[in-house]
Chains A and B, each alone.
Chain A
Amino acid sequence: MTGLRGRGLLLSVVAIGMVAVSCSKSSSTSTSPTTSANGPTTTVAAKQGGDITLGAEQEPDCMDWIGSCAGAAWGVYTVQTNTMPRAYDYTDSGYKANSLLTGAADLVTTPKQVVTYHINPAAVWDDNSPITAHDFKYTWDQIAHGKDIYDQSGYNQIASVDDTDPHTAVVTFSTPYPDWRALFGGFYGIFPSHLLEGKDRDALMKDGYSFSAGPYKIDHWTKGSEVKLVPNPNYWGKKSNLASVTFKFITDTAAEQQDYKSGQILASYPQAQPGGEALKGSPGTYFDAISGLSYEALWFNVEKAPLDSKAVRQALGFATDRNAIVQQLFAPIQPDIKPIQSMFTPAFGAAYSTPYSKYTLQLSMVDTLMKGDGWAKGSDGIWAKGGTKATLELKTTTGNKRRQLTAQILQTQWQAAGFGLTITPEKAGVLFGQDLPSGNFQIGLYAQTPADNDPGQCVIWCSKNIPTQANGNSGQNWDRINDPNLDKPWLDADTNLDDNARVADAQQGSTILSDLVPALPLDPFPDILVINSDKLGSQQGSFQHNFAYGPFTYLNYWFLK
């Protein structure tokens, strides 16, 4: 209060000076040969120094990245990716060894899966302590054996980590884990054993931490307001051009757009929602939208009549003009957007195939399939069979404009094809926590947000993952599709350590899916970058997307013009 009064005395004085404010930036220039994780990049001269402010749509709940509180993607986008070391980087063309390693890890597949990481001797924490094999072991131990861990997948399949040689971590798996490149990195990173071992990791990290082995370190995190990053002077890789980067938490979309227009933030990474094109065409703006890894789909409960009939599910595929839906949702943001034709997006690379392309709007096919299955249209134009009408219920989450619009378009399209559709919005907790696992739904409309481009989808298609008491109701095959032919490729994709064979499995699995239609893929989500290109440049030549870690993972290449 005293401080406020003191400041208040100055108000009348300072008001006069408001117009005179200007920003001063240091202006030394460096030309840096770059080795982007995204492959070869243009060498661009960059000014050194300058403070920038960027928008963040959400605030991380905590910064103990492996704790159960660390689920928010924005924690990864802003802080984790810039401060935590990773063995492998996810790039939009797949995983690549990080400069933490001297090269790609050695993979031995028989008799057991063993991955050997050779650690770059130059890789150090910000206190100059080397990153060692013991850090790998500590990280594994914390995730695999810790309490309240967000997700233990993969780490719980590791039998041991040999840290005898500090520069070589030898990881032996108990069962094959094809997505091993996502370990010791991803959304977690590697943790400094010399600082955390024997201490309460969660307590030391959850409110922010002082260590770093990335290009930046945390300067401060003011809850509810901002997190500020400053360069890590001891980072062994590409160093930051900027003196500081502040992420302001702006949860209101309209406010974020205004803050961008006024120059208070120089970039934002908005979620894909109808209306997200508001800043497209703004002067001096780099607006780029390409389809990422995430996608929305209709998920059919194949145990619920009438969706227990394959013919009905296929008929719904032919009753849906998916292109019209996708265009209406996202064409203003991404004009070239198209519906996805498998349960992957093009961002998955080779795993993406197009078996669902046969499902276009064809009412004649609907008639053929439905009549062949014993249905007849009633006087109201709705299909009926044995006194039961083909009126379906679609459950989705509340308060999501994109899903509301999708459901409304579907209602109209399916009405024309002879299907009734009621829409039931539910709270996420009810939908994902109760109704989907328990099978209390006919059709679900929700998204898949893969963490990387791993082609394994056994978790949602294999019969062993249908929620049952046997698996603790934890299976994710909520569509309850149970087909041995479908199990085979997806099971193989989850255990085969040959990347090419896994891609072939995924394509085969996708083809079978398109016949069984337990789900109908709709729209890939545009990954949108909004950057003030008058003020910001990138040494990578152009601003890069990263579908897993977000675009700010390349902040160390950014510079203030």
Chain B
Amino acid sequence: MLTFIVRRIAYSIPVLLLASLLVFVFVHATSDPLAKYAQSRDLTLKARQGLAQGIYQQPCREFVTGSPPTKAMTCTKAPVLKQYWYWLSHFLKGKMGNSFVTGRAVSADLRSSFGNTLQLIIWGVLISALLSISIGVLSAVRQYSLPDYIFTGLSFVGLSMPTFWFGLIAIDLFSNRLSSLLHVHYPIFFSLGLHSSHARGFFPAALDYARHLALPVATLTVQIVASWSRYERSSMLDVMSADYIRTATAKGLPRRKVIFRHALRNALIPLVTVMALDIGGLFGGLVVTEQIFSIHGMGALFLSDLGNGDTQALLPWLMVTAVFVVLFNLLADVLYGVLDPRIRLS
């Protein structure tokens, strides 16, 4: 197993290097450092003067020093590969530099955003896993029953609903209309960030946190459950038709024991793999959910940096999310071996 893990990590290194080169080249080829000035309200005569003078050009030196952009320091003259090496060698040492736009340490912004996204992922994945497995098992065990049809139908609805639409509908229903229905003057569920600034004390803060989490987690969960429950149902159906399940049933084992002890464990293997891969993608993939619910997570950070053309902040973001995708791919492989002893990792 250890050999396998070491080898997989070794395989990941060139993948990550290639990813780093590609993101660097593409980001520099396509980014617009001045895009934030597209908003006319910010585009004062004075700002334009600054633009024309080139004071917002991309600087090179600031990868390390963190100084704000200066006219004299432009990266546009250096060859791309030289810039790439300069950036990568510092990134590998953990020096991500400061944002071109805010002047803040990129690593600090990433940490803060990562924490928020992680909260969504943890709750979303936990709830999704519980619901998906329950629905998948129920649908498989009672194949072609009314509950199966209902869950199958709902899965398709969940898969086909755009996240932004579901999120806004959820806000309207559970934040606006539910409060009106219950005649309360404050939303039962919040749609703005992860906490209120006025909640003090552990219990009120926890309650406030739950009320903030409910809708974004529900939005995140709907599509995940729709997808994972289909995997689980399919996998469970395969296992339930296997000989060893028939044998266990023939031996007179209780049905509950057959399903949960013998069938479910094996049926989880494909789902766990899919889950691991999906979770890796979630670290950078909650753009819409975070935007709608004004949560400053990785997705929101990405949008903001992209809008600002802040390549200094974009590059570490892309690399961190790439690392997570690779990491969870590795985890999927390892879990596959752990869950199924028949698979020999050599």
B131 touches A (CB below 8 Å): no
**A224 and B34: CB pair below 8 A?**
no
Q: Which of A59, A64, A71, A467 contacts B42 (CB 8 A)?
A: A71
**A62 and B102: CB pair below 8 A?**
yes
**B43 and A432: CB pair below 8 A?**
yes
Report the Cα distance A339→B304, complex, angstroms: 34
Chain B nearest Cβ from A517, distance in angstroms: 21
**Residues of A87-116 contacting chain B, CB below 8 A:** none
Q: Which chain B residues border A437 with CB–CB below 8 Å?
A: 52
Task: Name the CB-closest residue of B to A206.
Answer: B103
**A254 and B168: CB pair below 8 A?**
yes
**With contact pairs A7-B206, A226-B197, A449-B44 given, residues A19 and B34 touching in the complex (Cβ less than 8 Å):** no
* Chain B 81-92 per-residue mask, 1 if CB under 8 angstroms from chain A, else 0: 000000000000
**A459 and B203: CB pair below 8 A?**
no
* Chain B 30-49 per-residue mask, 1 if CB under 8 angstroms from chain A, else 0: 00111111111111111111
B176 touches A (CB below 8 Å): yes
* Chain A 29-64 per-residue mask, 1 if CB under 8 angstroms from chain B, else 0: 000000000000000000000010100001101101
Report the Cα distance A3→B274, complex, angstroms: 28
**B35 and A428: CB pair below 8 A?**
yes
**B192 and A265: CB pair below 8 A?**
yes
Q: Which of B101, B205, B291 contacts A69 (CB 8 A)?
A: B101
Q: Which chain B residues border A467 with CB–CB below 8 Å?
A: 52
Report the Cα distance A62→B34, complex, angstroms: 16
B147 touches A (CB below 8 Å): no
Q: Which of A17, A258, A459 contacts B45 (CB 8 A)?
A: A459
Q: Which chain A residues border B164 with CB–CB below 8 Å?
A: 254
Report the Cα distance A342→B34, complex, angstroms: 29
**With contact pairs A23-B185, A228-B197, A255-B168 given, residues A450 and B191 touching in the complex (Cβ less than 8 Å):** no
**Residues of B296-312 contacting chain A, CB below 8 A:** 296, 300-301, 303-304, 308-309
B187 touches A (CB below 8 Å): yes
Interface pick from B21-29, B207-215, B223-231, B314-322: B207-215
Task: Name the CB-closest residue of A to B40.
Answer: A447
Interface pick from A128-136, A244-252, A355-363, A412-420: A244-252
**B42 and A61: CB pair below 8 A?**
no
Q: Which chain A residues border B37 with CB–CB below 8 Å?
A: 71, 428-429, 432
* Chain B 113-154 per-residue mask, 1 if CB under 8 angstroms from chain A, else 0: 100100100110000000000000000000000000000000
**B32 and A429: CB pair below 8 A?**
yes
A472 touches B (CB below 8 Å): yes
Report the Cα distance A250→B189, complex, angstroms: 17
A11 touches B (CB below 8 Å): yes
A476 touches B (CB below 8 Å): yes
Q: Which chain A residues border B33 with CB–CB below 8 Å?
A: 429
**B179 and A271: CB pair below 8 A?**
no
A345 touches B (CB below 8 Å): no
Chain A nearest Cβ from B40, distance in angstroms: 4
B19 touches A (CB below 8 Å): no
Chain A nearest Cβ from B62, distance in angstroms: 11
* Chain B 174-218 per-residue mask, 1 if CB under 8 angstroms from chain A, else 0: 011001001011111111111011100001011101110000000
**B210 and A15: CB pair below 8 A?**
yes
Q: Which chain B residues border A145 with CB–CB below 8 Å?
A: none
Q: Which chain A residues border B122 with CB–CB below 8 Å?
A: 4
**Residues of A210-269 contacting chain B, CB below 8 A:** 220, 222-226, 228, 244, 246, 248-252, 254-255, 258-259, 261-265
**Residues of A65-86 contacting chain B, CB below 8 A:** 67-69, 71-73
Q: Which of A8, A147, A246 contacts B197 (CB 8 A)?
A: A246
Q: Which chain B residues border A294 with CB–CB below 8 Å?
A: 40-41
**What is the predominant secondary structure among interface residues of chain B facing chain A?**
helix
B50 touches A (CB below 8 Å): yes
A10 touches B (CB below 8 Å): yes
Interface pick from A148-156, A163-171, A346-354, A373-381: A148-156
Report the Cα distance A447→B41, complex, angstroms: 8
Q: Which of B49, B294, B308 contacts A151 (CB 8 A)?
A: B49
Q: Which chain A residues border B43 with CB–CB below 8 Å?
A: 428, 432, 446-447, 449
**A19 and B296: CB pair below 8 A?**
no
Q: Which of B42, B56, B175, B294 contacts A249 (CB 8 A)?
A: B294
**Residues of A373-403 contacting chain B, CB below 8 A:** 397-400
**A449 and B41: CB pair below 8 A?**
yes
A328 touches B (CB below 8 Å): no
Q: Which chain B residues border A228 with CB–CB below 8 Å?
A: 197
**A262 and B175: CB pair below 8 A?**
yes
Report the Cα distance A246→B193, complex, angstroms: 12
**Residues of B51-73 contacting chain A, CB below 8 A:** 51-56, 67-70
Q: Which chain B residues border A7 with CB–CB below 8 Å?
A: 205-206, 209-210
A430 touches B (CB below 8 Å): yes
Q: Which chain B residues border A51 with CB–CB below 8 Å?
A: 197-198
**A19 and B191: CB pair below 8 A?**
no
**With contact pairs A244-B198, A248-B294 given, residues A433 and B52 touching in the complex (Cβ less than 8 Å):** yes
**B172 and A258: CB pair below 8 A?**
yes
Chain B nearest Cβ from A216, distance in angstroms: 14
B109 touches A (CB below 8 Å): yes
Q: Which chain B residues border A28 with CB–CB below 8 Å?
A: none
Q: Which chain B residues border A62 with CB–CB below 8 Å?
A: 102-104
**With contact pairs A147-B70, A223-B109, A224-B113 given, residues A428 and B193 touching in the complex (Cβ less than 8 Å):** no
Chain A nearest Cβ from B216, distance in angstroms: 11
A525 touches B (CB below 8 Å): yes
Task: Name the CB-closest residue of A to B38.
Answer: A428
A202 touches B (CB below 8 Å): yes
Q: Which chain B residues border A207 with CB–CB below 8 Å?
A: 104
**Residues of B204-255 contacting chain A, CB below 8 A:** 205-207, 209-211
**Residues of A3-29 contacting chain B, CB below 8 A:** 4, 7-8, 10-11, 14-15, 17-19, 21-23
**B39 and A271: CB pair below 8 A?**
yes
A-B pairs with beta carbons under 8 Å apart, 28 shown:
A7-B209, A8-B123, A21-B211, A53-B192, A53-B197, A71-B47, A206-B102, A206-B104, A224-B301, A251-B304, A255-B168, A255-B291, A255-B292, A258-B176, A264-B187, A294-B41, A399-B38, A427-B34, A427-B35, A428-B34, A433-B34, A433-B56, A446-B43, A448-B45, A459-B49, A474-B52, A476-B45, A525-B40
In the A-B complex, the 8 residue pairs with the smallest Cβ-Cβ separation, listed nearest first, are A224-B296, A429-B34, A447-B40, A428-B38, A262-B175, A14-B207, A151-B46, A427-B32
Q: Mark A residues whose CB is within 8 Å of B.
A: 4, 7-8, 10-11, 14-15, 17-19, 21-23, 51, 53, 58-59, 61-62, 64, 67-69, 71-73, 147-148, 150-151, 153, 202, 206-207, 220, 222-226, 228, 244, 246, 248-252, 254-255, 258-259, 261-265, 271, 294, 296, 397-400, 427-430, 432-433, 436-437, 446-451, 459-460, 467, 472-476, 525
Q: Mark B residues whose CB is within 8 Å of A.
A: 32-56, 67-70, 101-104, 109, 112-113, 116, 119, 122-123, 164, 167-168, 171-172, 175-176, 179, 182, 184-194, 196-198, 203, 205-207, 209-211, 291-296, 300-301, 303-304, 308-309
